[in-house]
Amino acid sequence: MDLATFGGGCFWHVEESFRKLKGVISTSAGYMGGKTKDPTYDDVCSNLTGHAEVVQIKYDPDMITYKDLLKIFWDIHNPCEVDRQGADEGTQYRSVIFYHTSAQKKEAELSKSKIKNAVTEIKKSSRFYKAEEYHQKYVMKHKMCKCFI
């Protein structure tokens, strides 16, 4: 199994977009890329920790490729908005790809180069902090409208 980590606005939407894909083994909403140890949702929302809301995806590369995951990532958010997605605003909502291998970095950079005006950050993965349980599979648990997915 391989890992992929993406931030594209509120992690609820991002997680739901990947959760049911064939080849995706599991998804976890969480935080990455900041300086605060063991951040909480409130900490991250303060815009002081440097963390982004992300989804970490465990997937089977024989069933779905990293390139396929990147295509979905680009399709589900606006990679040209700085520190926001729609009504959600703040550094935690930035567009970011955290790569886990040099091959992922190369693939992410290549895919970004094809998107005009993309402000998406591409960074080496760092420690992943799983978000509070009430954030996990939020859209599914609350039977929210899936029309935006």
CA distance 137 to 16: 7
Query: What is each CA distance from 71 to 6, 17, 130, 133, in whole angstroms?
Result: 12, 12, 24, 28
Yes or no: say if 97 and 6 are a contact pair by the CB < 8 Å rule. yes
Which residue in 10, 45, 145, 147 is the catalytic one?
10
Tokens encoding 108 = 């992410």
Q: Is 145 a known active-site residue? A: no
Which has the closest alpha carbon to 65: 37, 23, 99, 12? 23
Which has the closest alpha carbon to 53: 83, 78, 19? 83
47: β partners: none
Tokens encoding 36 = 């605060």
Residue type for position 49: T
Active-site positions read: 10
